[in-house]
Amino acid sequence: MRAQLLRLGATFAALGVLLVLPAAGAEAAFPGSNGLIAFERGSDIYTVTTGSSPTVSSSALITSASDPAWSPNGLKLAFTQSGSVKVLTVSGGATVTLDTGSAPAWSPDGTMIAYEKSSDIYVISSSGGTGRNLSNSGSAADDDPAWSPDEDTIAFTRTAANADIYTMAAPTDPATGGGGSQVQLTTATSNETQPSYDPDAARIAFTSDRNGVSQRQIYTIATSGGTETRLTNSSTDDSAPAYSPDGELVAFARAGAGIYTTGNGETPITSGGTDTNPDWQAASPTNSTLPVITGSFADNGVMFASTGTFASASSYAYRWLRCDSAGNNCDEIPGADTSSYRGSSQDVGKRLRVRVTATSTTGTTEATSEPTPIIAGPEPKNIVPPKVIVPGTTGIPVAGVAQSSSVGTWAGGGPLTYTYQWKKCQPKDGPCYRILETRAKYSTFVPTVELIGWSLRVEVTATNSAGSATEQSESTPLVIGNPPLNSVRPRVSIFATNPSVGQVLTVDSGSFSGFGLAYAYQWRRCDPFGTLPSCVAIAGATTNSYTLTEADLGLTLRVYVTATGIGGVTTVFSD
């Protein structure tokens, strides 16, 4: 808010060229409505309405006081009285003394006040406490603090050889931060004083005596510095600029004439010869942060609106808007007047906004959110669970044989994509565990022998632009192994044309496929033709070698080889 005049000990007049007020206020990000103007008249503080017929209060709001500064919510007034900074609650009349000093300026959230004390800028809680030096000016003198509406910086006047406008970092709370990043904005050899931010923190208005110490005028400069623009042109002295809450006007004091505003021409508001130091009340809550929409941006998805940040709001109302795909051409959604909203099929392909109306004792202010992303169709929903497809007719998965998965049946807007995760489960509805190998993330999966004795499940995740959902199959029967498969029969090695008693015969195991195979042997004595039904096991002949005996004379021999693996047992016989 506005700060007091830097005391330069001179009488002023003014001249210059009138330039049109920049339209920064017309594009202010968070404008408020214009309320009363508080101002000094003589040694007292008065107020004046700012409508088509301005009316000055019939009596002083505060006597023997100066430096009026409205709180952001318009309900309190800070001021200087008897060398101290004080705060008045306007409706109740209670006054709190904060500290010795002058030139109070409120933080945008109303929790702190910056002020001049001992030629430095201090900060203190607006409810009282201990002040803290922010600017630490050294041999210079600092005065006229003005807090930026975006809460980031404080502008102030620093007087050394001459007075200039500076900015510095604003504190985050009365005890923390602020005072750093001090930047000099004006560099003329004249005196530049009394900074005042516009509502969107883009420009600073200030008083300059560059046309002569008795001819001050109002200028503006971007908050980042650069070219200065002249606002007023009069034959008297103009000073103490204060932007209106809506950013359209600048109030200022014209020496000997009263309080004026400039915007579309210059308009007198009061006519008192001693009137000075105007400060404008926000007549409704002032918004500093737009509402934000979060949640699920989809058909049937639930979205939530924050209020944004409003100074002094006591209640909020909501109105959801349906806009085109670019976020423009918005219409109110019938019945959508709470802080949450569930998307419908009518919203698909469009964007939504929410308009929040904040209400206080002094009025209402609206703020509209940025648009949501384009509303998608509904999130995926499983109708029929996925299923493990086991090849063959038994329905039992076999190690080494590929299993496949269906995706099941899903509902959801737009194209769906699917991902897979195979799991192994303990018997009898025991717990399941994800199979971590990459090969378990596809629609087909080959169980290894390590999974024999486990059942299988597959987990399918369906995804669209609105979100994702996961469903899993029923468990399969336990994985089994295939019994060993013989491809080459065992063969008996004979090392003589006519075997005789005492000769040793050997047999190989033949060729079997399978995992972890072990072999067993049984020599058998058969009739002269080697017919299988005639073959009788030879007691004790259970190795891969056999010594012929007299009992074998005139008969034939076969060897039965049994291969045992994880998947089962297979027995074959030699020739």
pLDDT tens per residue, range 310-322: 876 778 999 999 9
Give the start-end residues of each E strand in 160-285.
163-169, 183-184, 192-197, 203-208, 217-222, 228-230, 238-243, 250-254, 258-263, 265-268, 276-282
Give residue-wise pLDDT tens across range 72-87.
Answer: 888 899 999 999 999 9
Backbone dihedral region for residue 225 (phi beyond 0: left; psi -120 to 50: alpha; all else: beta) = left
- What local confidence, expressed as pLDDT, does residue 3 receive? 41
What percent helix, strand, coil does the chain show, rounded to 5? Answer: 5, 45, 50
3-class state of residue 450 by DSSP:
helix
As to burial, measured by CB atoms within 10 angstroms (0-12 exposed, 13-18 middle, 19+ buried), residue 195 is buried
Residues paired with residue 218 on neighbouring β-strands, in sequence order:
207
Strand 132-133, strand 183-184: pairing: unpaired
| Average per-residue pLDDT for the chain | 89
Q: Which range is least confidently modeled, 309-313, 384-388, 479-483, 557-561? A: 309-313
pLDDT in tens, 196-228: 999 989 999 999 999 877 789 999 999 999 999
Instruction: Answer whether residue 302 shows pLDDT above 90.
Output: yes
**Cα dihedral 96, 119, 251, 360 sign:** negative
Q: What's residue 22's pLDDT?
A: 30
Calpha distance 95→86 (Å, rounded): 7
Confidence label for 7 from pLDDT (cuts 50, 70 and 90): very low
Of 33, 48, 17, 2, nearest to 268 by C-alpha is: 48
For the cut 50, the answer to whether the pLDDT of residue 276 exceeds it is yes
More confident residue, 517 or 254: 254
* pTM value > 0.75: no
Domains of the chain: 23-282 (2.120.10.30), 288-368 (2.60.40.2700), 381-472 (2.60.40), 485-573 (2.60.40)
How many other CB atoms are there within 10 angstroms of residue 526's CB atom?
17
Residue 58: per-residue pLDDT: 95
pLDDT score for 379: 83
